[in-house]
Amino acid sequence: MKRSTAALAAACATILASTGVLLMPRAEAAVQGCRVDYTVTNQWQGGFQAGVKITNLGDALSGWSLRFTFPDSGQKVAQGWNATWSQSGATATAASTDWNRTLASGASADLGFTGTTTGANPVPTAFTLNGVTCTGTTGPAPTTTTPPTTTTTPTPGRTPLAANGQLHVCGVHLCGESNRVVQLRGMSTHGLQWFDGCYNDASLNALANDWHADLLRIAMYVQEQGYETNPPWFTNRVNSLVDEAEERGMYAVIDFHTLTPGDPNYNLDRAKTFFASVAARNAAKKNVIYEIANEPNGVSWGAIKSYAEQVIPVIRAADPDAVVIVGTRGWSSLGVSDGSNETEVVNNPVNAANIMYTFHFYAASHKDNYRSTVSRAAAKLPLFVTEFGTVSATGGGALDQASTTAWLDLLDQLKIGYANWTYSDANESSAALRPGTCAGGDYGSGALTESGALVRSRISTADDF
């Protein structure tokens, strides 16, 4: 919002009047400016805690009032500290208290509050200090999560699994055992029937230690020479990769990679058999997430929901506390690729707790209209991008760096977890490793394709858990 000079002058006059300081004519106008660092330090179902650091970039103040606007009308300040807090509509105000009224030039004040929320909990906007817009805001990523003071500080070097333990769905996010929001970033295998040789000690060490991946998605195709041809072999291989991920402190997404035919009900019996087995075998582990249908296509949301409501109880019977991810219509596009959108899920959700919904994208094929769907849907549905490509939906074609960056920035902002297709040396541009890498055994930076280098640069940055 742009404020008029008159409004600024009025705001200054109000402050000066309220603090009893005489407004003297000056040769130069007072320097004004501020910066606000807003950090969500903890979140849980229906609530959150935020820290607000105000830095005065102008002349000294002897009384101040910070205002900001919650973009989601469901957000409310419940209890604040280090200021007198109030809220009117979506606008919250924090006024200085007696002991922190004076804010010298360059000085900071640390405030905070716990709030309630009914939805996505986006970061507020339009921060003003004494009516002056805080353009010095560094723009912390929305819902940036730093270690809350109320729980143990994560030890640097701890693995994602050690830091977060058993995951659960909290509101629209994934949370660790201490209820801190967790965004998992990692890689998907290619089809195990073709690229099993790419998943060995050296490649998985590189993924955990060099890529700093939080998760390995284990893509077990059901058709195309996959699970249906040899259930015991595929089941064992999935289990062994769960163990390999666990040993390295990574989460494992067990992906029942249905693709053709697109109706998951075609594989309903196989899914029940497979998930009963892997859920029983891995029930005591904390690193397993179940993805029950990769990309439903040519099928209604009602049919997918019916499938989910038959498979989820099988998993829960054996492994009650694990998160389950449900595929969506139109190749897990939340229906967009079929001309629909997220409302079909919002209005008719799967009848189960502790679940998330799948969204997939290929950056060169799926752009703004898919991104706006995800931004909208993320306020209402827990989403997990269990698969995305930097290229076109064929798995080939040119890498689209701009679209990939826009997508990953959005997912980071929304704290949505993701896995990239693929950690393999397939001869296609979506693969992260150059052809021949897996036979050679060197998984260092020289092995990376253009896509691999880009994705690794995003995944390997420090986690904020």
What does the binding site for ligand IDC look like in residue numbers (CB under 6 A)?
224, 259, 294-295, 331, 360, 362, 387, 393-395, 421, 426, 428, 430
Determine the Cα–Cα distance for residues 374 and 408; give it in Å rounded to an integer: 12
| Nearer to ligand IDC among residue 168 and residue 360 (C-beta) | 360
Q: Which is nearer to ligand IDC, 408 or 426 (CB)?
A: 426
Q: Closest approach of Cβ 208 to ligand IDC, in Å?
A: 23
Q: What is the DSSP string of 122-173?
A: PPPEEEEETTEE-TT---PPTT-B---TTSPPPPTT--HHHHH-S-EEETTE
Alpha-carbon distance 199 to 193, whole Å? Answer: 12
Looking at beta carbons only, is 113 or 234 nearer to ligand IDC?
A: 234
Q: How far is the CB of 429 from ligand IDC (least distance, A)?
A: 10
Q: Count CB-CB contacts under 10 A for residue 461.
A: 11
Nearest to 35 by CA among 124, 96, 120, 107: 107
The residues facing 212 across adjacent strands are none
- Name the minimum Å distance from CB 278 to ligand IDC: 19
The distance of Cα 396 from the centroid of its chain, to the nearest Å, equals 26
List strands edge to edge, sheet with 47-56.
Answer: 34-44, 47-56, 108-116, 76-81
Mention every residue, 6+ apart, whose C-beta is less than 8 A from residue 402. Answer: none
What contacts 243, CB < 8 A, 6 or more positions away? none
**Nearer Cβ to ligand IDC, position 52 or 304?**
304
DSSP state of 98: G
In whole angstroms, the minimum distance from the beta carbon of 152 to ligand IDC comes to: 38
| Residue of 238, 226, 362, 224 whose CA lies nearest to 291 | 238
- 3-state DSSP of 321-378: CCCEEECCHHHHCCCHHHCCCCHHHHCCCCCCCCEEEEEEEECCCCCHHHHHHHHHHC
Nearest distance from residue 243's CB to ligand IDC, in Å?
Answer: 24
The order of strands in the sheet holding 84-88 is 84-88, 91-95, 65-69, 125-129, 132-133
> Are 251 and 214 in contact, with CB atoms under 8 Å apart?
yes
Catalytic residue among 244, 291, 295, 344: 295
How far apart are CB 107 and ligand IDC at their closest, in Å? Answer: 53
The DSSP 8-state label assigned to residue 24 in this structure reads: -
Task: Give yes or no: 295 in active site.
Answer: yes
Identify which of residues 295 and 344 has a Cβ nearer to ligand IDC in the complex.
295
Residue nearer to ligand IDC on the CB measure, 173 or 237:
237
**Which is nearer to ligand IDC, 295 or 400 (by Cβ)?**
295
Q: Which is nearer to ligand IDC, 67 or 217 (CB)?
A: 217
28 as an active site residue: the answer is no
17 phi/psi in degrees, rounded to 5: -65, -45
* Closest CB to ligand IDC: residue number: 395
Burial of residue 349, with CB atoms counted within 10 A of its CB: 0-12 exposed, 13-18 middle, 19 or more buried: middle
CB of 325 vs ligand IDC, minimal distance in Å: 14
Indicate the SS3 state at residue 53. strand
Catalytic residue among 244, 291, 344, 387: 387
In whole angstroms, the minimum distance from the beta carbon of 195 to ligand IDC comes to 9
Active site (catalytic) residues: 295, 387
